[in-house]
Amino acid sequence: EAQVTQNPRYLITVTGKKLTVTCSQNMNHEYMSWYRQDPGLGLRQIYYSMNVEVTDKGDVPEGYKVSRKEKRNFPLILESPSPNQTSLYFCASSTGTKETQYFGPGTRLLVL
Amino acid sequence: DQQVKQNSPSLSVQEGRISILNCDYTNSMFDYFLWYKKYPAEGPTFLISISSIKDKNEDGRFTVFLNKSAKHLSLHIVPSQPGDSAVYFCAASVRNTGNQFYFGTGTSLTVIP
């Protein structure tokens, strides 16, 4: 089944404790993105990647890092999480900029 | 600054009637627009898209209209069904600038049986 998977689905952590949210897709897509969804702000793009080792900042990249060492994986790293990073995070992938993005099920993060 | 805006947070429609969801944008460079649908506890799923070279795109019960001069697009759902109850996001991008997308804040549609 073609899908985008994210782990963990739910995470509670404390300020400053490094964490990684994994994202994997099995569709051989070149393009991948991370978004966060917040009430009243909709979905905002954090980072995107157009291929292995090619990443670029989205609208709200501060406090986040990403890496794209393999085509299928695009982890989101929070080196020192803060409470304002409490949010619902989505990973997405697509075959190109004109193409449909397929979203993962989301990761709900709470930073205390 | 929000470049894509959905000014109606919610909309209720009777089953069988038309649902019209609206979206405005500020960046005249946007040339590709999409609508996504999102159910609770799931990721958004693609619904329909339109390129700036068109003013209308239709897919079954869903039609998207684009008014470039007004920087406005709308999604029409006819007839509305209870299963259409979800949050709808519009999104926009400039195709030649990578994979950057801008989403609106979403409109929660409730279709009343």
Per-residue model confidence as pLDDT tens digits over A27-83: 999 999 999 999 889 999 999 999 999 999 999 999 999 999 999 999 999 999 999
Amino acid at the residue B55: D
Amino acid at the residue B45: T
CB spacing of A100 vs B93 below 8 angstroms: no
Tokens matching residue A112: 């205390």
Mean of the pLDDT values across residues A10-35?
96
- Of A75, A78, A83, whose CA–CA distance to A110 is shortest? A83
Interface mutation vs chain A, best among B21, B30, B99, most A CBs within 10 Å: B99
What are the strands of the beta sheet with B19-25, ordered from one edge? B4-5, B19-25, B72-77, B62-67, B56-59
3 state DSSP class of B43: coil
| Distance separating the N- and C-terminal Cα atoms of chain B | 38
**Omega before residue B79 within 30° of 0, cis:** yes
Rounded to a whole number of angstroms, the distance from the CA of B24 to the nearest CA of chain A is 14
Alpha carbon distance A35, B110 (integer Å): 25
* pLDDT score, position B100: 85
Of A41, A97, A100, the CB nearest to B98: A97
pLDDT at A97 over 80: no
CB spacing of B42 vs A58 below 8 angstroms: no
B79-95 pLDDT tens trace: 999 999 999 999 999 87
What are the start-end ranges of the E strands in chain B?
4-5, 10-14, 19-25, 32-38, 45-51, 56-59, 62-67, 72-77, 86-93, 101-103, 107-112
B33-47 pLDDT tens trace: 999 999 998 999 999
The verdict on B104 touching A (C-beta cutoff 8 Å) is yes
Cβ-Cβ contacts under 8 Å, A51 against chain B: none
Alpha carbon distance A9, A35 (integer Å): 14
- Of A56, A51, A63, A58, whose CA–CA distance to A19 is shortest? A63
